Amino acid sequence: MILLSQSAAQFFNDNIALLAPIIIIQLILVVTALVSLAKTQYTNGPKWLWVLIILFFNILGPIAYFIFGRDD
């Protein structure tokens, strides 16, 4: 297990230049979704649940929030 995570870290370090854009874009998505969530008054379902969804579901969480989250 340790070996696997080490090699994963190694792999990540070797390919950081290629993977960085994906991570940055994901971060921007999460941040915009959270900003939008903070600004809206009405959401479909409880707000804290959306915070969890946005934070813990990669890519799909923010998209789901943007499409289904707001109730306007």
Partner 1 sequence: MQWLTVFNRESLEAWRNFKWIWVPLVFILLGLMDPLTTYYMPQILDAVGGLPEGAIIDIPSPPAVDVLMMSIGQFNMLGVAIIVLISMGTIAGERKSGVAELILVKPIRYSTYVTAKWMNYSLICVTAVSAGMLSSWYYVSLLFEEIPFGHVLTAAAFYSLWIIFIVTVNIMMNTLVKVPGVVAFLTIAFLIALQIIGQIFQYAANWIPSLITSYIGEVLTTGNIPEELWWTSLVTVGLIITLLVIASYTLKNKEVV
Binding site for partner 1 (CB under 8 A): 4, 8, 11, 15, 18-19, 21-22, 25-26, 28-29, 32-33, 35-36, 59, 62-63, 66-67, 70
- Residue 48 beta carbon to partner 1: minimum distance, rounded to whole angstroms: 20
Is the CB of 49 or the CB of 59 nearer to partner 1? 59
Q: Could you give the 3-state DSSP secondary structure of residue 43?
A: strand
The whole-angstrom separation of Cα 69 and Cα 16 is 33
The whole-angstrom separation of Cα 25 and Cα 54 is: 14
Contact 69, 43 (CB under 8 A): yes
CB of 66 to partner 1, least distance (A): 5
Name which of 36 and 43 has its Cβ closer to partner 1.
36
